[in-house]
Structure 1
Amino acid sequence: MNRDRYVDFLRAWAILLVVAGHWLITGLVRLPDGTIRAPELLVAVPWTQWLTLGFQIMPLFFLAGGYAAGGSWERARAAGGTAAGWVGQRAIRLLLPTAVYSGLVLAALGICLAVGVDPGTIALVGWAMAMQFWFLPVYLLLSALTPVLYALHRRGGLVVPVVGGVGALGVSWLVAATSGAGAGVVGAVNYLLVWGVVYQLGFCWRDRLVGRGPVVPAGMVAGGGVAFALLVGVGPFPVSLILVSGEELSNTTPPSAAMLAWAVAQVGLALLVAPLVRRVVGRAGVGRAVRGLGAVSMTLYLWHMLPVLVVAAAFYLTGLAPQPPYGSTGWWLLRVPWLVLLGLVLGLLVRALRPLERRLALTAARVRPGAGVRGPGAWRVWAGVVVSAWALAYFAGHGFAYEGRFPGAAAVGLAVGVALVADPGGCRQERGDEKSGGRAARVGAV
């Protein structure tokens, strides 16, 4: 039980740092004509790129995701569920809240475009509201590949992430050797290879292939840390673990060898401190806080940039916010009330969204595919996952209003993808199994 709580803690901690990191690097400036701009902090104040080493915490989310997915798929398979049924049930829990969020944002931006709001402002807002989306298509595809990845894990164990890591290094070398020009289709493979290595390590952690003692985790910390230092200090990769405009190479688009090294070190550290943190999260009060954060994690992740728009409208558009020179000591001191104010607004927003969360949970339970879905229903699930991943990847790369235009194709793609995954004939099958006491009904709780 303590280990499960620690996995929940890793996910909650990752979400909190992502939110705090996005807020920290978002700095607003009100121009003399009254418009608002958001200069890129990592470019304007280059030393802040080092801060990304602490805030790029998503390896922990993929680690925890692999740990949880491995157990979930194993239980579903033992109960007679199909790969399509399991993937569809997990996908719908991610896609429904994402589709609702995207639909509301797109509707608001569409209205603003129709009434003549400056396209540049619309593009900036559309980018801000989608900046967290890069994670969603990657996680969705890794979830869809879990049955295959877990089968490889059962055969190869630690060999699988090692081979995946070698492949990721090869792709990263190709991208670096072509001065970034190869970061197209070939480079995109590293989204699945690099993050897939961490996901596979989650399987290995669950099966106690790593983390049984301090030796292997300490080796991962040391090896990953040294490799990162060499790749950044001697090699061609930048230090920033977040995309920085103007750099030829990036550690995130696509994920690089340096990102892989840092992820390995971060996973090793998480395993190394696990015994200590388990004791802390095993306390009743801490456990309740972790469960509470877990319950609203998707809402926090999707909606955490909306408070920035609220505060911008209340304090920057009105000219009430003080504006010391960007990146100055006074500017950094104002980061404290900035973060506190955003936290308060987000807390109110999460509370206001509770009825929507409950309705989405009920809807997901009603429209999810059956645990044993096969045939045409299964093909609909797979097609829906692919189409949804494409739409989410578009939003991640272009925002919700690239160049001030409404993204009609991606919006339709997401709607079609969710519709394909939702109830592809499998819910009726599952309800029939429940009446007859079939095993597939029990898989629905996974």
Structure 2
Amino acid sequence: MSRDRYVDFLRAWAIVLVVLGHWLITALVREPGGQITAPELLATVPWTQWLTLEFQIMPLFFLAGGHAAGGSWPRAQAAGGTAAGWLGRRALRLLLPTGLYSGLVLLAVGVCSVAGVDAGTLSLVGWAMAMQFWFLPVYLLLSALTPLMYAAHRRWGLLVPPVLGAVALVADVLVVTVHAPYVGLLDYVLVWGVAYQLGFCWRDGLLTGRRPLPLVMAAGGGVAFAALVTLGPFPVSLILVTGQDPSNTDPPSAAMLAWVVTQVGLCLLAAPAVRRLLERERVWRVVRPVGAASMTLYLWHMLPVLVVAAVFYLTGLAPEPVLGSAAWWGLRIPWLLVLGLVLAGVVTALRPLERGLAVLYERTTPDVGLRHAWPLWLGLAMDITALGRFAVQGFAPDGRLPVLPTVGLALGTALVMLTRWTTTARQPDLPRTARAPDRV
């Protein structure tokens, strides 16, 4: 099947909005003692919470991921592949760049800790560098569940997303009414799983073959979101705001579920016009490299904030108008431009390392026909646990190096990589099509 440029566009569009959204709401203040603090814009200037409707674009990541998995898993299965082999290849595409990023950040944390950097500053920086990590354990878990989810899709089709959504609503009711936090963890899989499952349906034409359905999804989801925000207990912000209870993201709420449906519907409605635009090679030459670099941009986009903080704020060179004032918003333009230039430099500097990761991937990726794969499953469980810890606590909780998640991520990734060497000799020779890597 030829590559769907629109799916690649969604990845590129989503990553651009994630980066711009994080940069836009990041505010820095130099205190009289020289310390740098980061006041929370969404809490300090409440009307800015409406901006999160534009920048909460993660449903598109999961939708595109489901679309990709809905093609690569059946192909691997038809060629004699196993769930473990397919998952190992898919997971390693996330784990290798994530491991490199985490290793470099943790090394910096260790050096700064030994050098006596203030614990509060180190904790804040460690949190900023890990704030995007919540996506990774959820995506890896959904990838691990793909064989079961796709089997359900093949049997029940469009019935599956509403059932997942209904279970998510029940879990959210328990979270809101009886404050059951562990039940809320299910919604990370269920709510984002709805978008992932809709990716299967989209790929198989179950959404686009029914002409009114995208419009019904966009309108119905929008009305439900508006009702839950205005009449229900949920805030409008689709990004976590300190002190808000309930939150729409921690865990994903009924309002977030409504927004998932809305965004998928809008995505389907826009598809014909955007596909025509993407047929122009000039447009595609701009979109393609952004999509190809999406993982790099996602992982590293907060590093420019630290660079700018060191160069302009620690030195006192940056002007600091009142947070949320007209002057402050005016300075967002040069702020975004400078961050963009620094990020371009970071991406360029990382290219040799990325080429090395590509070689490492080819040498260590598990065979698609992998069997007897308990090391892979154990390693993946360790990775998911470690990434979840980093997402919650950051890379320097209380200004200290987090030893257990650091060891867990390193050992877990090593187990996934070493699976190739411990099992390749027992694998049958599969067709070349089964060996081709798939995109995340």
- Where on the TM-score scale, by shorter chain, does this alignment land: which range? over 0.9
Match of 1:416 in 2: 411
Match of 1:192 in 2: 189
4+ runs deviating over 6 angstroms: none
1:380 to 370, 375, 379: 375
Is the CA contact 1:430–1:441 (under 8 Å) kept in the aligned structure 2?
A: no
1:444 to 412, 416, 435: 435
Match of 1:170 in 2: 170
Secondary structure of 2:205's aligned partner: coil
Structure-to-structure mapping, 1:33-432, within 5 angstroms? 33-178=33-178, 181-182=179-180, 184-375=181-372, 378-425=373-420, 429=424
Match of 1:14 in 2: 14
What is the CA distance between 1:150 and its match in structure 2? 0.4
In the TM superposition, what whole-angstrom CA distance separates every residue of 1:319-352 from its partner, at most 9, and x where no partner exists?
A: 0000111111100000000000000000011011
Secondary structure of 2:436's aligned partner: coil
What is the CA distance between 1:213 and its match in structure 2? 4.8
Take 2:232 and 2:145, find their aligned partners in 1: how far apart are those partners? Answer: 32
Structure 1 82/430 Cα, relative in aligned 2: closer, same or farther at 3 Å? farther
Is the CA contact 1:241–1:259 (under 8 Å) kept in the aligned structure 2?
A: yes
What is the CA distance between 1:172 and its match in structure 2? 0.8
What is the CA distance between 1:144 and its match in structure 2? 1.0
Output the aligned Cα RMSD: 1.4
In the TM superposition, what whole-angstrom CA distance separates every residue of 1:88-118 from its partner, at most 9, and x where no partner exists?
A: 0000110011011001000101111111100
In the TM superposition, what whole-angstrom CA distance separates every residue of 1:389-423 from its partner, at most 9, and x where no partner exists?
A: 01001111111111212110000000111011113
Is the CA contact 1:132–1:396 (under 8 Å) kept in the aligned structure 2?
A: yes
Secondary structure of 1:353's aligned partner: helix
Structure 1 64/425 Cα, relative in aligned 2: closer, same or farther at 3 Å? closer
What is the CA distance between 1:429 and its match in structure 2? 2.3
Is the CA contact 2:379–2:413 (under 8 Å) kept in the aligned structure 1?
A: yes
Report the AA paired with residue 222 of structure 1: A
Is the CA contact 1:387–1:413 (under 8 Å) kept in the aligned structure 2?
A: yes
In the TM superposition, what whole-angstrom CA distance separates every residue of 1:286-345 from its partner, at most 9, and x where no partner exists?
A: 222222112211110000000000000010000000011111110000000000000000
Take 2:114 and 2:47, find their aligned partners in 1: how far apart are those partners? Answer: 41
Take 2:33 and 2:211, find their aligned partners in 1: how far apart are those partners? Answer: 58
Take 1:212 and 1:329, find their aligned partners in 2: how far apart are those partners? Answer: 47
Report the AA paired with residue 385 of structure 2: W
Take 1:296 and 1:202, find their aligned partners in 2: how far apart are those partners? Answer: 21
Report the AA paired with residue 402 of structure 1: P
Take 2:335 and 2:306, find their aligned partners in 1: how far apart are those partners? Answer: 12
Take 1:131 and 1:103, find their aligned partners in 2: how far apart are those partners? Answer: 16
Query: Which stretches in structure 2 are left out of the alignment for 5+ residues?
Result: none
Structure 1 306/431 Cα, relative in aligned 2: closer, same or farther at 3 Å? farther
What is the CA distance between 1:134 and its match in structure 2? 0.7
Take 1:135 and 1:425, find their aligned partners in 2: how far apart are those partners? Answer: 26
Take 2:36 and 2:274, find their aligned partners in 1: how far apart are those partners? Answer: 42
Report the AA paired with residue 423 of structure 1: L
Is the CA contact 2:375–2:415 (under 8 Å) kept in the aligned structure 1?
A: yes
Is the CA contact 2:164–2:190 (under 8 Å) kept in the aligned structure 1?
A: yes
Is the CA contact 2:36–2:314 (under 8 Å) kept in the aligned structure 1?
A: yes
Q: Taking structure 2 as the reference length, what is the TM-score of the superposition?
A: 0.97
Identical residues among aligned pairs (%): 65
Secondary structure of 1:129's aligned partner: helix
Take 2:33 and 2:160, find their aligned partners in 1: how far apart are those partners? Answer: 56
Is the CA contact 1:300–1:350 (under 8 Å) kept in the aligned structure 2?
A: yes
Q: Report the number of matched residues.
A: 437
Take 1:34 and 1:120, find their aligned partners in 2: how far apart are those partners? Answer: 13
Report the AA paired with residue 356 of structure 2: R
What is the CA distance between 1:432 and its match in structure 2? 7.3
Take 2:150 and 2:307, find their aligned partners in 1: how far apart are those partners? Answer: 43
In the TM superposition, what whole-angstrom CA distance separates every residue of 1:38-87 from its partner, at most 9, and x where no partner exists?
A: 00000110000000000000101100100011100010001111100000
Is the CA contact 2:370–2:427 (under 8 Å) kept in the aligned structure 1?
A: no
What is the CA distance between 1:185 and its match in structure 2? 1.4
Is the CA contact 2:364–2:420 (under 8 Å) kept in the aligned structure 1?
A: no
Q: Taking structure 1 as the reference length, what is the TM-score of the superposition?
A: 0.96
What is the CA distance between 1:425 and its match in structure 2? 3.9
Take 2:400 and 2:220, find their aligned partners in 1: how far apart are those partners? Answer: 46
Structure 1 126/119 Cα, relative in aligned 2: closer, same or farther at 3 Å? same
